[in-house]
Structure 1
């Protein structure tokens, strides 16, 4: 009887410790790095554009964002919209889209599903922003993130 109580108590303690270690904590992916709110607006040929990807490339970390219909974006480093660590970053700005693709090769209900699509069925990749901006090394754009709120406007061209 004494052994049964001891085993039961040990089992309860063990399960309690296991469950305590399995919690989600704060729900964050941040490993303890201080981030600062950062976002802004992207203009293509002077007008806002939706769906533009903005990438910050740093020595140790990076961040990214996607613009809304007003061209506004908020950077993510670890968790959605959390911000960016302090530092100077090179910036890439791009929007690529595949047009004219035949999606029937990827539709399970299509007779084309599973077949190798011919090259013309893959469509064409269209860059909506000049190619030089797609690479942080060639864009000429930088962002200096400081403690506190950071707002950036990136003006790029389509050609």
Structure 2
């Protein structure tokens, strides 16, 4: 795979995550029709160690929605469809885990490059079958 193609895939993955975070920050449901949700929590590790400061996104093609949440210092996350609505759409979700962060144009070098293999984000192989009620999905990632 060419470097240009790989960069495009990473940029596409970041676009999805940033777009979902923008939706999260937009507040309540505002009367919108919401899909049936299941509460989703879990832990992300990388090579056996907690993965902090990553964004975990659940994308439901059936519901056409993306729900996301960030990991804490212990690698724990909770997924939110919107700012105050916890959960991910019920059904099969494609899962993306991203560590890259866009930079601030006013701060040179503030961007954080992706550190995870593409199989967890741009070319994700991760899925989760969300059920109504409480769900726990732990992701034990490897750096290779």
- What is the TM-score normalised by the length of structure 1? 0.61
Which residue in the other structure is 2:29 paired with?
Answer: 29
**Is 1:152 matched with 2:142?**
no
- Deviation per CA, 1:75-131, whole angstroms, max 9, x where unpaired? 011234611121101111111257xx9x8x827xxxxxxxxxxxxx54774322113
| RMSD of aligned residue pairs (Cα, Å) | 2.6
Contact 1:38 1:151 in 2 (8 A): yes
Which residue in the other structure is 1:71 paired with?
Answer: 75
Which residue in the other structure is 1:86 paired with?
Answer: 90
Candidates 49, 52, 55, aligned match of 1:53 = 55
Which residue in the other structure is 2:19 paired with?
Answer: none
Q: Which has the higher strand share?
A: 2
Contact 1:38 1:83 in 2 (8 A): yes
Report the number of matched residues: 114
**Is 1:131 matched with 2:131?**
no
Distance 1:28 1:122, change over 3 A: closer
Which segments of structure 1 move beyond 6 Å, counting only runs of 4 or more?
none
- Deviation per CA, 1:23-71, whole angstroms, max 9, x where unpaired? xxxx732624232211111111111111011111111111111100110
SS of corresponding position for 2:96 = strand
Distance 1:151 1:81, change over 3 A: farther
SS of corresponding position for 1:51 = coil
Contact 2:28 2:85 in 1 (8 A): no
Q: Which is higher, the Rg of structure 1 or of structure 2?
A: 1
- What is the TM-score normalised by the length of structure 2? 0.67
Q: Which runs of 5+ in 1 are unaligned?
A: 1-26, 108-120
Contact 1:55 1:62 in 2 (8 A): yes
Distance 1:62 1:46, change over 3 A: same
